[in-house]
Homo-oligomer: A and B are copies of this chain.
Amino acid sequence: MRIDPVLTTEEINYFMKEALVEARKAEAIGEVPIGAVIVQGGQIIARGYNHREIDQKATAHAELLAIEAANAVLGSFRLENTTLFVTLEPCVMCAGAIVNARIPQVYYGADDPKGGAVRSLHQLLEDSRLNHRVDVHTGLMAQESGRLLQQFFQAIRLRQQARKIAQRKK
């Protein structure tokens, strides 16, 4: 299957690095570090990073925010000829938003064994009964994406342990 646009390996790596830049923006504000960019015609047209805690908004995932930004940029709910790059495997909600926005191609980094809806728990982007199918590429810069998440959760655990020790000393 030929997907429009066809991206070079260099472009693919560049755009995933930009998704990682977005993930680090989430990390910097204490959010689970997940980032996304949407590309059309070789250009990034929209970006997003996880905002759930700060906004206290269940829908503020990187992919959903990037999709909404791209809808606004293109003035269309249909994101034809676009590619979504995201550092973590999308959840059910974001997989559904990818289908609703008719995104034809997705690259993601690390698998999410607990909530991934593209390969791990469900294969929602390959469901022939839905009115849209997506060309999915997995594992791109998975180590870097995964490391960001591991470090984030490790830091949380360390802070929790430090708090417990401090409380015991009181």
Q: A: which residues have CB within 8 A of B? A: 52-53, 55-61, 64, 67-68, 71-72, 75-79, 91-97, 99-102, 114-115, 117, 121-122, 124, 127, 129-131
Contacts and interface: CB of A to CB of B under 8 A. Distances in A.
A80 to B, nearest CB: 12
Main secondary structure of the interface of A (DSSP, over half): loop
27 contacts: A56-B71, A56-B76, A56-B77, A57-B68, A57-B71, A58-B67, A58-B68, A58-B71, A58-B77, A58-B78, A58-B102, A59-B59, A59-B68, A59-B71, A59-B97, A60-B77, A61-B100, A91-B96, A91-B100, A92-B93, A92-B117, A93-B93, A93-B94, A93-B97, A96-B96, A114-B129, A121-B127
A82 to B, nearest CB: 11
